[in-house]
Amino acid sequence: MQILITCPFWCASLLTKELKRLNLPLIESHPTAVLSEWTWKDIYNINLWSRIANKVYAVMWEAQVTNFDQVFDFVLSLNWNTLFVPTTEFSLHASCKNSQIMSEKSLVSVAHKAILTSLNILEDTKTDPEKSQEVFLFMSWNNLKVCINTSGNSLHQRWWRTQTGPAPLKENLAAAIILLSWWKFNKPLIDPFCGSGTIAIEAALLARNIAPWKNRKFAFQNFKNFDFNVWNELLLNAKKAEFENNYQIVARDIDEKVLGYAKVNAENAWVRDIITFEHQDFQSGLMLFEWDFRLITNPPYWKRLNANDDLAPLYEKLADYLHECYGWVISSYPWMWKLFHSKHFSHKQLYNWADEVEFYRKKPV
């Protein structure tokens, strides 16, 4: 059976490396998703350990279809009761590419009716998005894949982040740029614009090998075939795999209130003891350290500040500083390319929520 795992734009290579560490084969890779093979234990393990994934879909059934009558008959024939009880709430989404059926709205409508009929539900009820089971219909070259969301809410929504400032960085995107930065855990790491602490906390979780998803509920736990014993064994193994080492991680911000959010989030993630939080202005504060360190940061831009604020001096100083040390910057500041576009930096385009952002990293020497 196949599994479809979605991820942030151009992070599929990192997701592939995660699959390799979990001994799962790569079948196919796309900019925002990868296909692999799975058992139910693999499903549990990916949801527990992936720092990059958005959602994990199990491809339950597939068939060649060219019209809506075939769609209805195929979906009706599926044994939905193997997964759901008849009262299960669910929602449908679809994607159609290069097929005779190209109307996603019509595909969802026909499949929805077939599922209701199969489960012997006479009338659809309004669903709670937090509790409903997501069915994803993927149509490509007349091949209809019926996928079940095993994750529930998107995996980027970490359980520890209870407070945020404006324009927060997605947690899995923060994890991605840390992995892309070549940071070695024995090197100090600093984020001078830490906001609610996302980069520093994700770095601490990674360094201590704490599973990012050991403290939440997943959609697969509501399936009829959920194996509690297998899941409990994976949780116990994850706890045994954690490290107790101390690391040098510094998180700074000029906003004392937001810095307070970061401290609370770090407490929630059980990594407060290895992150040093400092209330400091980047432009006036001393940035030099006596020891070799790495800088990874998401500086402020106009979604975080007043549109009239002049950010040029801040970014000019940041660019000057990064030419003297190893640093990685992700931001949607529109003129950042003028400062960082040189032979000394490599560049990647990413997305944070709907915002297009640029990721610049200092090339190794």
Angle between helices 171-180 and 12-21 (to 10 degrees): 80
The confidence score (pLDDT) of residue 307 equals 47
Whether residues 107 and 65 share a domain: the answer is yes
Whether residues 115 and 229 share a domain: the answer is no
Residue 165 lies in a domain: no
Whether residues 97 and 177 share a domain: the answer is no
Whether residues 348 and 205 share a domain: the answer is yes
Q: 């995996």: which residue's tokens? A: 155
Whether residues 180 and 131 share a domain: the answer is no
The confidence score (pLDDT) of residue 118 equals 87
Whether residues 204 and 111 share a domain: the answer is no
* DSSP classification of residue 294: E
Whether residues 288 and 339 share a domain: the answer is yes
Which residue, among 329, 355, 363, has the nearest Cα to 9 in the 3D structure?
Answer: 355
The confidence score (pLDDT) of residue 107 equals 97
Q: What is the pLDDT of residues 195-238, one digit of tens each?
A: 999 999 999 999 999 998 878 889 999 898 899 999 999 999 99
| Strand partners of residue 35 | 4, 28
Q: Decide: pTM greater than 0.85.
A: yes
Whether residues 256 and 123 share a domain: the answer is no
Whether residues 251 and 331 share a domain: the answer is yes
Give the Cα separation of 86 and 328 in Å (integer): 50
Q: Are 314 and 283 in contact (CB under 8 A)?
A: yes
Residue ranges making up the domain that contains 205? 171-209+224-362
Ranges of beta strands (E only) in the chain are 2-6, 26-30, 33-37, 56-64, 90-97, 133-140, 143-149, 189-191, 249-253, 275-279, 294-297, 326-331, 345-352, 355-362
User: Order of strands across the sheet with 133-140?
Assistant: 26-30, 33-37, 2-6, 56-64, 143-149, 133-140, 90-97
- Cα-to-chain-centroid distance, residue 289: 32
Q: Which CATH number fits the domain that encloses residue 315?
A: 3.40.50.150
Retrieve residue 325's tokens.
């040390």
Q: Are 49 and 213 in contact (CB under 8 A)?
A: yes
The confidence score (pLDDT) of residue 128 equals 56
Low pLDDT (below 50) residues in the chain: 307-308
Whether residues 205 and 273 share a domain: the answer is yes
Q: What is the pLDDT of residues 280-323, one digit of tens each?
A: 988 766 555 555 678 899 998 765 555 446 788 888 888 877 77
When divided into structural domains, the chain yields a total of 2
Q: Are 350 and 330 in contact (CB under 8 A)?
A: yes
Whether residues 143 and 178 share a domain: the answer is no
- Point out the domain boundary residue: 99, 115, 149: 149
CA end-to-end span of the chain: 44
